[in-house]
Amino acid sequence: MRIRTGNQRIQKTGARFSVFPVLILLAVFLFSLCFKVSEPGMIPVQAMSNLWTAVRLKIAELLHQPMALDRFEIIREQDFYYETIRRLKNSFVTLLSGAAVCAGGAVFQTMFRNPLASPNILGISTGVNLGTILFLYLFPTTAMGMLEQRYLYCFISAGILVGITMLAGWAAGRKLGNFSVMDMLVVGAVISQFGSVVTMYLQFRLEEIDVNLLTSYQEISMGIYVLTDTKSILTFLLLMTVSMGPMYLLRYRLNATVLEDMDARSMGVSTHRLRTAGMLCGAVLAVTALVACGDMGILSMAVPPVVRYLCRGADFRKILYYSICAGSILLLLARSLCSMIFVAGMALPVNFAISVLVLPLFVFAMSRQRSVYA
């Protein structure tokens, strides 16, 4: 309850969310729809009219109106129709994966009370890269068409790496009597270093088979190639819903993991179960996003501390909301700006741009905090 001069009112105790980030997100989304250098001659008005046509056609198709019958005629009249649809899908996937990566990072960091305990340090990034390259190595000719297998391989390899990390951290903590984040981080750093060395070795072997395979691996891991077909978008949405649902339901309880274990237990919250649930959800989110959009794991480490610094607090609900917005904005912005920067005749990979763009912010946010986790 807060008393204000003038009108006295009782304020709700729930967290208040600003609409501002969502507005920025919408603006950036529109920007990424309108501007891209890869299709010269296409103006923003045309993109908008194409989108409007697409929406009208979809509605007509659903309601069985006569307009749906001559849709090919209508589409032929529009310039750049398919380019616009592709751009829409691309931006949509980018937005979702930025959101998912940062949500995963926020969950991990809140649970472990440490900004380094993010998916990319605990081995998820490396796991996804390893899964992708193993998959390419095993199915050199048919790799790009096999979506389920790709998800399967990435999930299995990331699961193994994260599982080893967690188990080792848990076993080390059990011996001491309490769970230690630092142990887990050490194991994670070790495991992911090993994974990246194996990935590098497999790159050598991949080049021996076919150089084009190596190029396609690089395109996947650097975020140039994005999964935009309908099936993969649906899979993405399904996995995201499955993992975001529990997180939304647990949003109050996850705050309790910030407390010490004993305190949380005395308040009636089982931190162990909560950690397991949160970890599963966060890992699924991060892996899904990384499979769809390349190795953007650095976002999951860098964005939540910046958000925590800007919010001046560690309320999980706020952190989750603002991290999702900030991640989507950053990834969308980086992708559309990268498509305009040409180095040696090719567009700049998003991975590099992200790490150059975000890490100074992260360092700044870390330097302004008194303790590592505030």
Query: x/- contact string, 322-351, with another protein (CB under 8 A)?
Result: ---------------------xx-x--x-x
Q: Which is nearer to another protein, 43 or 167 (CB)?
A: 167
Instruction: Select the span of 5-13, 74-82, 152-160, 202-210 touching another protein (CB under 8 A).
Output: 202-210
C-beta of 162: minimal distance to another protein in Å?
Answer: 13
Instruction: Write b or e for each residue in 66-77: b if 16 or more Cβ atoms lie within 10 A of its Cβ, otherwise e.
Output: eebeebeeeeee
Chain centroid, CA 43 distance in Å: 29
Backbone angles phi, psi at 141, to 5 degrees: -95, -35
Chain centroid, CA 74 distance in Å: 36
Chain centroid, CA 107 distance in Å: 12
Instruction: Select the span of 34-42, 132-140, 209-217, 321-329 touching another protein (CB under 8 A).
Output: 209-217
C-beta of 16: minimal distance to another protein in Å?
Answer: 32
Check residue 203 for interaction with another protein (CB under 8 A).
yes
Check residue 116 for interaction with another protein (CB under 8 A).
yes
Tokens read off for 192: 């992911």
Query: CA 102, 107, 113 angle in degrees (round to 5)?
Result: 115
Backbone angles phi, psi at 203, to 5 degrees: -65, -40
C-beta of 42: minimal distance to another protein in Å?
Answer: 25
Compute the distance between CA of residue 290 and CA of residue 307 in angstroms, rounded to an integer. Answer: 21
Q: How far is CA 115 from CA 118, 125, 206, 363, 367, in A?
A: 7, 16, 35, 11, 13
Compute the distance between CA of residue 18 and CA of residue 12 in angstroms, rounded to an integer. Answer: 15
C-beta of 244: minimal distance to another protein in Å?
Answer: 27
Tokens read off for 254: 């996850």
Check residue 189 for interaction with another protein (CB under 8 A).
yes
Can you tell me which of 24, 34, 68, 366 binds another protein, judged by CB under 8 A? 366
Check residue 55 for interaction with another protein (CB under 8 A).
no
The β-bridge partners of 206 are none
Can you tell me which of 57, 68, 168, 280 binds another protein, judged by CB under 8 A? 168
Check residue 370 for interaction with another protein (CB under 8 A).
no
DSSP E strands, the chain: 342-343, 346-347
Check residue 197 for interaction with another protein (CB under 8 A).
yes
Check residue 18 for interaction with another protein (CB under 8 A).
no
Interface ranges with another protein (CB under 8 A): 115-116, 121, 164, 168, 171-173, 175-176, 180, 182-183, 185-187, 189-191, 193-194, 196-198, 200-201, 203-204, 207, 211, 214-215, 218-219, 221-222, 298, 343-344, 346, 349, 351-352, 355-356, 359, 362-363, 366-367, 372
